[in-house]
Amino acid sequence: VCGAAHARLLWGQDMMGWVKQRFDERGIHPNPLSELVRPLVERYGFDVDDELLLGQWTIDQMPGRMRLPVDTQYLSMRGVPFNGADVHEKWLYERPDRPRVCLTLGVTTRTFYKDDDRRIARLLSTVADLDVEVVATLNAEQLDNMPSIPDNVRTLSYVPLNQLLPSCSAIIHHGGAGT
């Protein structure tokens, strides 16, 4: 909008670019994506165009084979897991006695699904009788109304997944983009 170079940084598949291209191919005008952002840019005296929507280039961490077919300029970048400085739990690097399973509902669900007690209780009761060690990333608020925590479940408010997952045989998750 101000003339500065700008790029998009994707953290998943390029759904915006893919959907916009589908609208264009089908001759759908005005493009609903353009209409969505139009009120935001019109107040500054600008119009919506492809460059505004998709940037001058797109930084994409997805491997080429996992990308959606979108006709735009991509700059490939390899994702490197980094969660900031943190204390490393020693047990994360020890071989577990039983298969380790990560149970994470993501950090975002803590904000948007405050009344998730039944689902969490059901998940915990489902894994209770399994011969596995479950590491559940649940905070105190999520655990407040739980009748009990199974013996095979270790709860942590937060642990970087790049530290936990190498020792896990499986993960149970909500399918969020951040996870």
95 and 53 part of one domain:
no
The structure tokens 């500065």 sit at 4
112 and 136 part of one domain:
yes
Tally of structural domains, the chain: 2
pLDDT tens-place string over residues 64-98: 888 999 999 999 998 777 766 666 788 988 899 99
Does residue 83 fall inside a structural domain? Answer: no
167 and 99 part of one domain:
yes
63 preceded by a cis bond (ω within 30 of 0): no
Domain coverage including residue 28 = 7-76
Instruction: Using the predicted structure, report yes or no on whether residue 2 has a pLDDT greater than 90.
Output: no
- Give the pLDDT confidence score for residue 1 in this predicted structure: 54
Does residue 22 fall inside a structural domain? Answer: yes
Instruction: Using the predicted structure, report yes or no on whether residue 172 has a pLDDT greater than 80.
Output: yes
DSSP3 helix / strand / coil % (the chain, rounded to 5): 35, 15, 50
